[in-house]
Amino acid sequence: MKRLILMRHAKSDWGDPSLPDHARPLNKRGRRSARALGDWLRAEGLMPGEILCSTASRAQETCARLGLPLAPRLIASLYMAEPEDMLAALRMAEAETVLMIGHNPGIAEFAARLLVEPPAHPRFDDFPTGATLVAGFPLADWGGLGWHEGRALRFVIPRELLAGG
C-alpha cells in the first residue's frame, strides 16, 4: 500500500509586485500554517520517506517550515504543473509514503483525478493554500499509478489546525 500526502503550498506574499511569481515567499499566515501542517503530520504519524517539491520559493519555504528531517527533491516540472506532469513525477517516486508539494489550479484537479471518490469536505474542490490530502493506493510500485485508484484517508486545511480558525 502506497500513501501520498498531497499538499498545496501555504499562503504566499503578494506584497512586492516586482518579484516574479516563482520567487514569491510565504506571508505571515503561510509561515504559521506550514508549521501547523508539520505539527499535524507528526501528530498523525504521517512521515514521508520522500518529498517531491516544486522549485517555487513558496513551495520550498512551505516544505522547510514543516520541520521534517528530510530534504526535498526539487522538481521544476511541479511549478504550476498540469495533473499529467504531477502524475509523471509521482510515478518516479520510490518511498512507501511520498509528500508532494505543488500549486493550484493543477493540484486540485490532480487530487480529484487520483481518487475513487472525493472526501466529504467542503473545501476539497478548491484546494485552498495549505490544503493537504492523504490518500492510499493499492500499489506495489508508484510506476503503475493511474487515475481514480486512490482512497482519501484524510483531508485538512490550515484554518482547521490553527487556534481561532
Amino acid identity for residue 43 in this structure: A
Question: What are the pLDDT digits (tens) for 68-123?
Answer: 999 999 999 999 999 999 999 999 999 999 999 999 999 999 999 999 999 999 99
Name the DSSP letter for residue 15: S
Question: What are the pLDDT digits (tens) for 11-39?
Answer: 999 888 899 999 999 999 999 999 999 99
Pairwise CA distance, residues 21 & 160, whole Å: 27
Closest-CA residue to 103 (of 93, 89, 116, 91): 89
Pairwise CA distance, residues 8 & 131, whole Å: 6
Question: What are the pLDDT digits (tens) for 32-81?
Answer: 999 999 999 999 999 999 999 999 999 999 999 999 999 999 999 999 99
What domains, with CATH codes, occur in the chain? 2-10+20-161 (3.40.50.1240)
Pairwise CA distance, residues 54 & 127, whole Å: 17
